[in-house]
Amino acid sequence: MISLRSRSSAAPKKQPTGRLRVFYCGDIHGSDVCFRKFVNAGAHYEADVLVLGGDITGKGLVPIVRLDDGTWRGYLHGQPRSCANGEELEALRLAVSRAGFYAVEVTADELARLEQSADGQSDAFRTAMIEQVSAWTALASERLAGTGRLCLVMPGNDDEYFIDDYLGDGETVQNVDGKVVELQNGIELVSLAWSNATPWNSAREFSEEKIAERLGELSSQVERPQSAIFNVHVPPFASGIDTVQKLDDQFRPVVENGMPVEIPVGSTAVREAIEHAQPRLGLHGHIHESKGEARIGKTLCINPGSDYASGRLHGVLVDISPERVERHIYTEG
């Protein structure tokens, strides 16, 4: 499905100091405002490299229905929204987009047909995703061109494969999934979008064996693992940054003795790869509610969490040199 790609160099043109400043975030799930903030984070935080660690596309499609009287009606956050004119309609579209959903304008008949057709919804999702990812790539290319800042993006387990063709322009914005990219001072970035199994059967889930095999292939290309960064969407198993509430078959929280049961759901293969390679830094996402950091041997693993639906971009700013992680600070822009 994804072929092992060759090593590439992506050294930023601007290197103001000996250290490299990386801004990392993930799991923006279709939030237009979060992506715009991500693109602007470079200037805001004076970062050299921007990394978007997967789960880029949205999960919800919000139909906005044109009524017979010429007005529009839709729902956002479960609340009805009416639009009397084009201006209000545009405002609703914007609010839907900011919340991480895709707005689709339909008539009542089209909505009825859409409700009955999984294929119809699938097509609508596909169209919306491609439109948005294409627009984002264009936006990032336009804003970052000539700034000397690198913009490295990759999909996550929730992102369908077809978006890969629209993710990145190959120059200013690069899709680094399945690649080893050299940044500066010999620091290499290893990226992998896959996750282990989840209850949701998302697009890029693989067995632990497959993940181990894939990470092994990528790790073998790294020349200096001790100074490398592992940009792996799923966090390592039982690291404290992979904790979720246990769910039953109906996705309901499992409660025992009146309290929710918490379990680790990270990848054992990722943990073993980190334990073996001991990179300088691990950047992870996937588990929105498990923001934090963990030490696995010499490796500092960070999950900045996500709260994309509120429009706030959770991230982490890391100053790194080949010798050490000099400092890191969480951001909430």
Cα–Cα distance for residue pair 86/210, rounded to 1 Å:
50
Please, which residue, 76 or 296, has the CB nearer to other proteins?
A: 76
Write out the binding residues for other proteins, residues 145-204 only, by CB under 8 A.
Answer: 157-158, 160-162, 198, 200-203
Tell me which of 60, 216, 225, 322 binds other proteins, using CB under 8 A. Answer: 60
* 29 forms part of the interface with other proteins (CB under 8 A): yes
* 21 forms part of the interface with other proteins (CB under 8 A): yes
Write out the binding residues for other proteins, residues 75-104 only, by CB under 8 A.
Answer: 75-80, 94-95, 98-99, 101
* Chain centroid, CA 45 distance in Å: 19
* Token code pair at residue 332: 């909430």
Q: State the Cα angle at 165 between 146 and 98, rounded to 5°.
A: 70
Cα–Cα distance for residue pair 82/231, rounded to 1 Å:
42
Using CB under 8 A, which of the segments 145-153, 182-190, 270-278, 302-310 binds other proteins? 302-310
* 44 forms part of the interface with other proteins (CB under 8 A): yes
Tell me which of 167, 173, 229, 309 binds other proteins, using CB under 8 A. Answer: 309
Q: Which of 95, 51, 125, 116 is nearest to 316 (CA)?
A: 51
- Burial classification of residue 116, based on how many CB atoms lie within 10 Å of its CB (0-12 exposed, 13-18 middle, 19 or more buried): exposed
* 324 forms part of the interface with other proteins (CB under 8 A): no
Please, which residue, 99 or 222, has the CB nearer to other proteins?
A: 99
In angstroms, what is the minimal distance from the CB of 225 to other proteins?
25
In angstroms, what is the minimal distance from the CB of 7 to other proteins?
25
Cα–Cα distance for residue pair 193/5, rounded to 1 Å:
14
* 33 forms part of the interface with other proteins (CB under 8 A): yes
In angstroms, what is the minimal distance from the CB of 266 to other proteins?
13
Please, which residue, 181 or 316, has the CB nearer to other proteins?
A: 316
φ and ψ at residue 57, rounded to 5 degrees:
-90, 160
* 237 forms part of the interface with other proteins (CB under 8 A): no
Orientation angle between helical segments 268-277 and 208-220, nearest 10 degrees: 30
